[in-house]
Amino acid sequence: MPATYSYASILHTIGQILDQTDVKSFAIREEEDGLFVEGFNSDGQLQVQMRYDVAGLYALMSRSEEETEERETSATGLLHRFLADHKRELVGTTL
Looking at per-residue pLDDT, the higher value among 76 and 93 belongs to 76
94 domain residue, yes or no: no
pLDDT of residue 69: 67
2 domain residue, yes or no: no
47 domain residue, yes or no: yes
The crossing angle, in degrees rounded to 10, of helices 7-20 and 54-85 is 80
Whole-number Å distance between alpha carbons of 81 and 79: 5
3-state secondary structure of 35: strand
What is the per-residue pLDDT across 1-27, written as a single tens digit (0 to 9) for each? 456 788 898 899 999 889 988 899 999
78: CATH:
3.30.160
pLDDT of residue 74: 64
Domain, as residue range, for 62: 7-85
What is the per-residue pLDDT across 36-91, written as a single tens digit (0 to 9) for each? 999 999 999 999 999 999 888 888 888 877 777 666 666 666 666 777 777 766 56
Total domains in the chain come to 1
pLDDT of residue 1: 44
Whole-number Å distance between alpha carbons of 28 and 26: 7
What is the per-residue pLDDT across 29-38, written as a single tens digit (0 to 9) for each? 999 999 999 9
pLDDT of residue 65: 78
Mean pLDDT, the chain, integer: 81
